[in-house]
Amino acid sequence: MKAAVFHSVGTPMTIEDVEIDKPKGFEVLIRTAVAGLCHSDLHFIEGKYPTPVPAVLGHESAGIVEEVGEFVTHVKPGDHVITCLSVFCGSCEFCMTGHLSLCGNPKVKMPPGKAQRMRWKGSHLNQYLNLSSFAEQMLVHENALVKIREDMPMDVAALIGCGVITGYGAVSHTAKVAPGSTVAVVGCGGIGLSAINAAAIAGAARIIAVDKDPGKLELAKAFGATDGVDAGEADYIKKVVDLSNGGVHYSFEAIGLKATAEACFSMLRPGGTATIIGMIPVGQKIELMGAAFLQERKIQGSMMGSNHFRIDMPRLIEFYMQGRLKLDQMISGRLKLDQINEGFAAMAKGGIARNVIMFNQ
């Protein structure tokens, strides 16, 4: 199969012929249809997060089942599926208490470098986040995917696999946004737009989009934002506080920066909650005013939107089919696999929501 191989930080990915194993046990072989270019991948490409190399990156994808291992029960060949890096075991403490996205059982969520599923030039090729979707095929555990209805377009279905479920889940599961509340979302890329959309679905009364890009602020309105604030202005935090009559009930950081994480906490009203969705670089610390905690302001993290993806993703598809979940507007461009480096260069430059790799182009 063809795959984009990541060699090292600062080196472009190359398109190579790669070998992949046949499924066994609980494994499923998938023919990749679409893979989204996610900002999380860019963090690894830029070296902000480590991963063993050489590797095939990619984790936001949809495809069709080709073969299954002897113990697989959830899917069969021909099924349409969405993948998710939140592979779960179903039996650990986290899974049994409903926190599937925190499952770390190495039997299903193998640590970086451990999966022995791909080879390149006769040597081990690392699988990324137990998925590696920048390839024509993926070999994954059955608990890393969910079956979906066949009339769901694959290009937008892939977006649900990471960006959408992460933004939606942060609002609906991690923060549990209440109807009639005020919300601010800092960063209007794919995850931020999904958080805005989720807040609208949840019935938030005021949803304030915050970004430096005027185009993204305008796009945010299509996803449910009632107001837009330019993050490039020095007093943008005050503007959010003023718009929400003393601060928001909920704020969401969807970039992964120290400054924006601190800003999300600063724009809260007493009793408000800031949820950090973005991947703040390893070793980076954030600073908060201690006195703010006396008014019961809270800050928390969110791992993949605290998702229950086998329940959430089919529901999100129904929202899309009803016109309530905006996915078509999120796709900035459809690329071929050999355009992947151009796609990430565009992402690093800014101004786009999501590019996707189409494997049947």
d(CA 350, CA 14): 23
Which positions are catalytic?
A: 38, 40, 43, 59, 162
For residue 304, give the 3-state DSSP assignment: helix
Count of CB atoms situated within 10 Å of the CB of 90:
11
Non-local (6+) Cβ contacts of 328 within 8 A are 156
d(CA 21, CA 270): 54
**DSSP H or E stretch at residue 320:** helix 309-321
For residue 230, give the 3-state DSSP assignment: strand
Residue with tokens 């909920």: 250
Q: Which two tokens stand for residue 269?
A: 């009203």
| Beta strand spans in 89-223 (E) | 118-120, 123-127, 137-141, 145-148, 182-186, 206-211
Count of CB atoms situated within 10 Å of the CB of 68:
22
Non-local (6+) Cβ contacts of 196 within 8 A are 167, 183, 185, 188, 207, 209, 220, 223, 224, 225
Residues in the chain: 361
Which residues on neighbouring strands pair with residue 250, listed in sequence order? Answer: 183, 273
d(CA 19, CA 5): 12
